[in-house]
Amino acid sequence: MKKIHLLFCGACVLFLGFSGCLKNGVIGSNVKSAQTLDNNTAADTTGTVTPSPVPSVAAVNVPAIVPADYGGNSRVFARVFLAGAYNSTTGKMNTTLNTNGVIPLNNPYGNEQSLGIAPAQGASLPAGFLAANPDIVDWIQIELRVGTHRKNTVVRKSVLVDSSGNVRDLDGTLGVPVLVKPGDYYLIIRHRNHLTVMTKAPITLSLTSALADLTAAQTTGCTNTLTVASPGDCLKQITPGVFAMYGGDVNQDGQVIYDPAIPHSDRNEILYVILGGSISTVLPTTYSPGDLNMNGMVRFSGPGNDPNALLGGMLSGESTARISGNPDI
């Protein structure tokens, strides 16, 4: 019981502020709802749990270091899979978001930086571009660093990824131009509901860079508590020898968590924040971080529901397991 008290005390501090949490040194009346929530099945089937606001984590917005020495021209050739969209039958990613017309024309990340030169915030695609390029899966964001720590960030740029995992510039071409001189850089790739990944070692960039293939294993300081360890560490092995970024990080806190007893779990983010606490609400046509299987809708229960894409798809059915990203990323 002590463990439970401590856990939900932490939850109260997060959600209500400390003064609203403890009353005469004990946890207040919200223990009942927390324990109801702990009983996952009951909460999931009745839909009577009082919605509890789960704060979203703000998008990462780290200042670039603006080193003039890095000014130049190179291109990034990269390949990456998103586990949420990966289709093991085709060996490619589904393009349902594009087919359903929910991908925004405007950059959804909004925190681009490149050497202090006019940032590409507001970068957008021309009308009709996505329909004319049906192979596009979604926006992703690439980042370059001269060291592993975030303080060494020199470029961040929103780009596109196609069904084969090819990273493409906003005009659809391979080889994303970046304003850095040829040299060695760590490549980081972000997606709005996947776990960020970084190359294990620096990649060498030039105008004719070699392909950085992140569909191969990377080991970048991530941890997971799965009973069966994932060989790819920060990447999920989706088929033998093929790796993808872990999906399921709805709140972008660098962890993939299902556990209903953890207030900031990604499962709770879907239920309480995105669906307002209603297990029956369906967002049928949406572009949402809660859409973990990237089919253009968010639903908590029923066929193709998104919590199952988290629990069954990413955590091998282990409801208390978690994948934790590299804290430097």
- Least distance to Ca ion, CB of residue 39, Å: 22
Q: Choose between 143 and 266: whose C-beta lies nearer to Ca ion.
A: 266
Q: Choose between 166 and 288: whose C-beta lies nearer to Ca ion.
A: 288
- Least distance to Ca ion, CB of residue 275, Å: 12
One-letter amino acid of 150: R
Q: Is 29 left (phi over 0), alpha (psi -120 to 50) or beta?
A: alpha
Q: Choose between 112 and 249: whose C-beta lies nearer to Ca ion.
A: 249
Q: Choose between 94 and 209: whose C-beta lies nearer to Ca ion.
A: 94
Name the residue with tokens 């980081």: 188
- Least distance to Ca ion, CB of residue 283, Å: 9
CB 131 within 8 A of CB 40: no
| Burial class of residue 282 (count of CB atoms within 10 Å of its CB; 0-12, 13-18, 19+) | middle
- Least distance to Ca ion, CB of residue 298, Å: 5
- Least distance to Ca ion, CB of residue 198, Å: 18
Q: Choose between 30 and 255: whose C-beta lies nearer to Ca ion.
A: 255
Q: Choose between 135 and 253: whose C-beta lies nearer to Ca ion.
A: 253
CA–CA dist 267, 256 (Å, integer): 9
- Least distance to Ca ion, CB of residue 251, Å: 5
Nearest CA to 263 among 61, 49, 83, 47?
49
Q: Choose between 107 and 255: whose C-beta lies nearer to Ca ion.
A: 255
Count of beta carbons in the 10 Å neighbourhood of residue 244: 25
Q: Choose between 157 and 322: whose C-beta lies nearer to Ca ion.
A: 322
Residues that bind Ca ion (CB under 5 A): 249, 251, 253, 255, 266, 291, 293, 295, 297, 306
Q: Choose between 165 and 313: whose C-beta lies nearer to Ca ion.
A: 313
